[in-house]
């Protein structure tokens, strides 16, 4: 018995192909290559990565995109299942944890988007792997904030001006 219906799998594959074609327009550009290959390397070996790779990926065993594409920058070849993306999970978990009550929250999520999308760009994940990883990361970030909330920020009280 299949966990996901054939029509659903076909829709997922079509989504993956559309996103991959969109990234094809960027691939090979030296600036894009440096950004996305670098972001992809940043996500290796984090703690959430261990959870996702050790537990969740073993349940799905999805094959990765073909490795036969020319890569402009050397990249470590993943050995685990493709679904979900551990990089996306880690990046969005970190963004969710760091963003609480922080004015830099858009920056954290922008970095998470770059790290997550880098995995499609460098052709080691399908787009649906990244979307699922991001969703798991967002959920884990919220759980983390509930389990270990940050203490309230101290209020800064202005000192009264001294008479001159």
* pLDDT at residue number 137: 92
Contact 45, 96 (CB under 8 A): no
For 44-74, give one letter per residue: b (16+ CB within 10 A) or e: eebebbebbbeebbeeeebebbeeeeeeeee
CA gap 77, 51 in Å, rounded: 19
**Regarding predicted confidence, which is higher, 42 or 67?**
67
CA gap 38, 33 in Å, rounded: 8
Helix (H) or strand (E) segment spanning residue 156: none
Residue 125's CB is within 10 A of a number of other CB atoms, namely 30
**Regarding predicted confidence, which is higher, 157 or 122?**
122
* pLDDT at residue number 130: 96
Residue range 75-107, pLDDT digits in tens: 888 888 888 998 899 899 889 888 877 888 899
Contact 68, 102 (CB under 8 A): no
């Amino acid at each position: 018995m299949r966990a996901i219906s054939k029509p659903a799998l076909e829709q997922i594959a079509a989504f993956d192909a559309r996103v991959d074609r969109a990234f094809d327009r960027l691939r090979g550009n030296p600036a894009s290559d440096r950004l996305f290959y670098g972001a992809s390397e940043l996500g290796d070996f984090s703690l959430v990565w261990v959870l996702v790779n050790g537990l969740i990926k073993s349940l799905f065993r999805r094959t990765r995109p073909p490795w036969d594409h020319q890569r402009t920058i050397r990249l470590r070849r993943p050995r685990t299942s493709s679904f979900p993306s551990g990089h996306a999970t880690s990046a969005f978990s970190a963004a969710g944890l760091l963003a609480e009550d922080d004015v830099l929250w858009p920056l954290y999520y922008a970095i998470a988007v770059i790290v997550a999308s880098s995995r499609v760009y460098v052709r080691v994940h399908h787009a649906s792997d990244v979307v699922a990883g991001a969703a798991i990361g967002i959920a884990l970030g919220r759980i983390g904030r509930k389990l270990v909330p940050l203490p309230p920020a101290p209020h800064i009280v202005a000192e009264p001006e001294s008479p001159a």
